[in-house]
Structure 1
């Protein structure tokens, strides 16, 4: 089955051709004869319920979003996966804030395009977001309404191995400060590029990591494990037995050196809720880091009282004489109903209400199209690049083709943005 045509999936077996299975009725009959019980229906119902209440948290170092169309390419790539909250490292955007549609929040430097962290949110996560705190260009935290408790997620981007010990200690002090601002009742999850190798030996660290780590441990890895011990955290990446290519999260350009440095940590009392955690090498964003996703048996809550969206009026339609005349007639009628004896404050409110009623009754709403400015051609090139990523280790020819497509995608996205800006300018001139 073509990888590009697959629907978003969780962990486990991918959708595809599967062999025949015994009918549920036959399974129940055999089970009843053997054990005297029939729990087939109960088990199936429970599994469906667990799948529905699964929260998927992730981390990914994309190396940069400071290139034309990179965020749109990230959104397009994540359509291949089921996710709720994904921490993004090396955003390289300045300032802090959120995108207009609210699916991406970030925290960066004031002026330089260095470091930067953020969260990519699903539609459900956007609705459950209670607030976020852009601490620095290395740390951002967000709080979500969930069941059975609210969830606080902290995403980090640790200093590289070339940084000094002072930088490392300052980084962990900043995390300590961020932890003090979280509610003690919240379920705490930490994601990020920790630039630390914790290895696969958990002899002295069984409370904070499992026995399925990867590679060797370094000093930065020991520092991370000490931090996890103090705060009763557990490294989810080490809990499950996976193939090596589902463990390591970073690879050198030549593919020789591989490390597990992008990690997801959760409070130890909630580690039994973690059902899987693995790396996805198929995810492609032109980065030497891989996407890590973790499934947790938690549920984001839906807001009961959604804020009503304001009516977007096309003011330019008032230039039409018929609409203008109709607007004037209705507004005059509405103004006559206002009593002159009311107070100044009430008078102002009634005038505002009269204008609002008149606009809704006479002026057509503004039609907005939610089409991304990036072209279909660029997205097709990105999908082809994704396919070649899986083949680049087969031969040198595929490697060269992959590098060539990386350049083509960047060039095509840059041209798309230039065309979009030009179209916006032309539309503004017409208005």
Structure 2
């Protein structure tokens, strides 16, 4: 099942929502699992840990665990004798902001030992349409004048060498890939924000934290603290590096921008003055 989902999820889509019976008890959140919210139910089992590992690897969120409900509104499956109740039916997505609520519907006869799980979504179509139409490649005037002819020539060469296939989807994908490749070559995107890479040691600790399902709570807490400490160090190193680069390149960023005397006087310079007899003077010597 997880192999099929891992194959389907990379397919291009605006949002990904996965729903169904996973026969896994995820339980409550432990440690730094970003895919699990603070409002879980029950105790995690081995299949639950497998599901959590899958969510972490695919960047998905278990939406059932992000909304606080009474225990009787959390369980989704009941055994035939009525003694066991577990939460094994889930809603998952790669974008938490589109969900407003996930809850069990009590008064609904499904003729099954599973209860209906309802997810409420709110998608601003106007806003999302604007985001989809927004271009990520915006060439400057210099790039347009300098590389326009070369860009067209490169595209022509690529399209002439492109062999058609019997699959229209594959042909379309090939055209899109060529446009993206050449577009990124001539109009490089400007990335914002500070990027930093985690060290091998940090990645190893995070991997051990995810894969060790038999770790005790004290061991999990110790690893969690260690991961947070290593991430803080990596972020601090990245910020320090960015500061030194900004100083070396003489960038007037918000952090290092110093108000020069000329700018300060230019903004506060007095242009005219009314004297005691009502006369307006504009000469600097008269105003002084």
The structure whose Rg is larger is: 2
Structure scoring higher RCO (CA < 8 A, sep ≥ 6) equals 1
TM-score range, shorter chain: 0.3 to 0.5
Instruction: Answer 1 or 2: which has greater strand percent.
Output: 1
Instruction: Answer 1 or 2: which has greater helix percent.
Output: 2
TM-score using structure 2 length: 0.42
